[in-house]
Amino acid sequence: MADDGMILNFQFGSAPLKPQATKFTGGRWRDRKRAEKSAKLAGSQSKTPRDEGDAEASERAPKRYKTNDNGEFSGWKPGNQSQGNLGPRKSSANDNAGGRSSQRGGQSDGPKGSRQVISRLFSFNPEQKTAVEKEESEWEAPEATNAPLSDVANFGTLALASRLVDELSKMNLERPTAIQNKVIPHLISSSGDAFVQAETGSGKTFSYLLPILHRVLQLSGKGDGKQIHRDSGLFAIIVAPTRELARQTHSVLEQLIRPFPWLVSTSITGGESKKAEKARIRKGVNFLVATPGRLADHIDNTKALNLGTVRWLILDEGDRLMDLGFEEDLKKAINALKRIIVAEKTTNGTLLDSLPDRRVTVLCSATMKMNVQKLGEMSLADATFLAAEKDAEQTAPSDQAVLKAPAQLHQSYIIAPAKLRLVTLISYLKLAFSRRGRTMKAIVFHSCADSVDFHYELLKDPTKKDLPDTSAKEAEVLSRTVSKAAYITSPASPEVVLHRMHGSLSQPVRTATIKSFVASKLPSVLITTDVSSRGLDIPSVDLVIEYDPAFSFSDHIHRVGRTARAGRHGDAALFLLPGTEEGYIELLKTSAPPTAQSCESVLEKGLLSKLEFPVETTAKPEDGNTYHDKAETLQLHIEQRLLGDPKQLELARNGFKSHIRAYATHTKEERVHFDISELHLGHVAKSFGLRDPPGGIGAGIERKAKKKGVKGAKGAKGKSTTDEEEDPARPGRDLFKQKSMYLMKATADEFNIG
Ligand SMILES: Nc1ncnc2c1ncn2[C@@H]1O[C@H](COP(=O)(O)OP(=O)(O)OP(=O)(O)O)[C@@H](O)[C@H]1O
């Protein structure tokens, strides 16, 4: 802890300060020297707006940042600012703002007469290069592309069993979507394999479940399938990449077969009791929803699992199945099914005549990648390609079609300098929930579990314990993943519920957390990793924030696809850093022209309404008048909070380290936009509420650099990671690049990305 801001948290008495006389004790020599220098300079340097006190600074700031008639910020034009003009002043000799707070001289907004510390956020930020092509207000929603078709009367026109059509109607599903309109008739009439490709939220699940059920229901010849029961055999296996998705698909299936109690389905997923699953399989099931690993396990070890009657193998979210490394498990299942070439024609005396006469494999994916093609080669034979293109007849898988989000999904980006990221995120969420009725559920994607944990703990309100509508038992399970939020509430939205979710949580906790998020009647945020990016169907999600950009563009499409489902509207906002990350905007345009949101405008609108801090620090919510002041006060408060709480500080450090490691795992093709050598570690540390990057992240690199004979690795450490004033042309920069390359290599090894 001593490293983090030791020089910054000295409390000064009310007597006028003589900086020259200030004596610092304790801590490291380097830090003491720096503190002495800062204190000295604070008293002697020419005064800047900040140094002259907030009253004056506040008056000046608005002159630089004009607002238009709507009160919107209009002074900051992308592309025309230079380093330092993002703040009310340019550098001064004592501005050590590189991620470090600095002492504020003279009068302050803090306790009367005390010397306050401020956290400089608006100076020395890298320049934004991208000129705004389309602002948020210019966006007009095009016609939805994944909505039910208006020119098809109802599901009945697809020749589905009337009982099924009635069931759909009870679920308020009247007309099919484009992909359902294509896939359902095909799977009803054909015994051929199919590759199904359609946008996120277009109803792919019903597109394969409905025809399967229809054909099984035909088995009795009367359309109700009453001769079939749980012992009649297993007819379909549906494989999903994650436990959540498997469970979700199983619950949709359960809903559909509820009126047909003689049909039985079950799910087998990792994290559950294998013994109980075996017992269910032994009792007999007609439909099995599985994760690949658990399926392979049962194929090997559960004798009661008879694959002889299986007619359908559905591989849902094909690209994700491959991404997650399930190739071997999938091979096992595919080969096991292939070995039984002629499937059983009867079951318990019932002729299986309405079922396909061969095994049908259906591969579904919203995106098309090389690995999906590979899975296709492994599993499909003479497959028909079925895409949801409404107008043009698409006959083959296409890279273009796949990487599109639903047209009605409003995609935007915010170019936020690293130092401003945390306060911008808070401000954005505060603003989003304060627009009553506009946002009820939001998902915030982070790159790693440690970052999720840090942000969750930071944003939760430690003073509020009770959760609404929760039994004591549920509350116990949810105690570490659901809580009331602080900071992002507002008078218009005084209660917001926070949820956290990632793959390191136990399965019961994951399941309960998602259930709680779905059921929440209060505005809610889910802070999560990519574990929630695939297939998760929560219709009421209206906002997706990609706080950390996705590791691949197809992941981005899946993440944003958690909103704007089945024709509904939705917003998605992507945080980018100024610099090379801006190149990613071109990639966004291949899906839909995104609009730009100004980071400063978000701060102004979000932070100038009432701020509340859940924990008392010397920085107070009422400190400052301009949004610059408010942002710096909020940042300072967070930094102070961490310094007073070792547990949170540890979470911040772990979050920072994992975030940096994760940064190196963007796909090879997209790494050009996510150049780790461009990251200013000091600024990134700020976004975790830290005043310096924690040790360790660079230490390994240094050791490696030393081993390889990179001169000066040690000497450059401080400069390269924390100092704002660093001149890009200086040798230290090259060294930083070199170190970053080692870092990238080390982290790439760790994440197995070669
Ligand atoms: N015909 C329909 N009319 C209205 N809503 C529908 C229709 N079909 C499906 N839905 C709803 O659309 C939502 C998305 O369906 P589903 O999860 O199957 O989409 P998906 O294509 O698999 O998406 P993803 O690729 O993101 O997994 C669900 O809430 C579902 O109930």
pLDDT digit string, tens, across residues 149-159? 988 888 989 98
Neighbouring C-alpha atoms within 13 Å toward the C-beta of 631: 30
Rg from Cα positions in the chain: 29
CA distance 641 to 619: 10
468: left (phi over 0), alpha (psi -120 to 50) or beta: beta
Three-state DSSP class for residue 441: strand
Contact 535 CB / ligand 1 (< 6 Å): yes
Q: Is the pLDDT of residue 89 over 50?
A: no
Q: How many angstroms separate the Cα of 753 from the Cα of each of 500, 546, 616, 665, 750?
A: 27, 22, 44, 7, 8
Choosing from 145, 171, 205, 542 the residue with most ligand 1 atoms within 8 A of its CB, the one to mutate for a pocket test is: 205
The share of the chain scoring above pLDDT 70, in percent, equals 70
| pLDDT-derived band at 276, boundaries 50, 70, 90 | very high
Q: How many angstroms separate the Cα of 222 from the Cα of each of 88, 218, 670?
A: 78, 7, 55
The dihedral sign for the CA sequence 130, 135, 136, 140: negative
Angle subtended by helix axes 274-283 and 292-301, to nearest 10? 70
pTM of the model: 0.77
Could you list the beta-strand ranges (E) of 26-160: 102-104, 116-118
Three-state DSSP class for residue 492: coil
Q: Is the pLDDT of residue 626 over 80?
A: yes
Q: Does ipTM surpass 0.90 in this model? A: yes
Question: Which residue type occupies 560?
Answer: V
Three-state DSSP class for residue 398: coil
CA distance 575 to 546: 6
- C-alpha 297 – ligand 1 centre gap (Å): 30
Contact 206 CB / ligand 1 (< 6 Å): yes
685-705 mean pLDDT: 70
Closest by Cα among 252, 406, 242, 260 to 316: 242
CA distance 348 to 345: 10
Q: What is the pLDDT of residue 694?
A: 86
Element (H, E) at 545: strand 543-546
| pLDDT-derived band at 344, boundaries 50, 70, 90 | low
Q: Which two tokens stand for residue 58?
A: 């506040």
CA angle (155, 156, 160) in 5-degree steps: 90
Q: How many angstroms separate the Cα of 88 from the Cα of each of 64, 65, 723?
A: 7, 9, 20
Q: What is the pLDDT of residue 398?
A: 53
Choosing from 145, 165, 181, 206 the residue with most ligand 1 atoms within 8 A of its CB, the one to mutate for a pocket test is: 206
- C-alpha 533 – ligand 1 centre gap (Å): 15
Protein residue with least CA distance to atom 22, ligand 1: 204
CA distance 327 to 134: 42
Closest by Cα among 51, 47, 54, 9 to 27: 9
Instruction: Report pLDDT digits (tens) over 50-68.
Output: 332 332 233 233 333 233 3
CA angle (487, 489, 495) in 5-degree steps: 125
Q: Which two tokens stand for residue 422?
A: 């945390």
Closest by Cα among 728, 676, 666, 731 to 701: 676
10-31 mean pLDDT: 40
683-710 mean pLDDT: 67
Contact 177 CB / ligand 1 (< 6 Å): yes
CA distance 470 to 363: 39
The mean-pLDDT minimum among 218-222, 640-644, 647-651 falls in 218-222
- C-alpha 8 – ligand 1 centre gap (Å): 53
The secondary structure of 124-175 as a DSSP string is SPPPP-PPPSSBGGG------SSSBPTTS--GGGGT--HHHHHHHHHTT--S
Contact 450 CB / ligand 1 (< 6 Å): no
Say which residue, 565 or 370, is predicted with more confidence: 565
Which numbered atom of ligand 1 lies nearest the CA of 171?
A: 31
Q: Which two tokens stand for residue 453?
A: 């944990």
Q: Enter the DSSP assignment of 403.
A: T
Report the Cα–Cα distance between both ends of the chain, in Å, rounded: 35
Choosing from 170, 184, 196, 204 the residue with most ligand 1 atoms within 8 A of its CB, the one to mutate for a pocket test is: 204
Which numbered atom of ligand 1 lies nearest the CA of 558?
A: 26
Which numbered atom of ligand 1 lies nearest the CA of 206?
A: 18
The residues facing 365 across adjacent strands are: 197
Residues 6+ apart with CB under 8 A from 519: 469
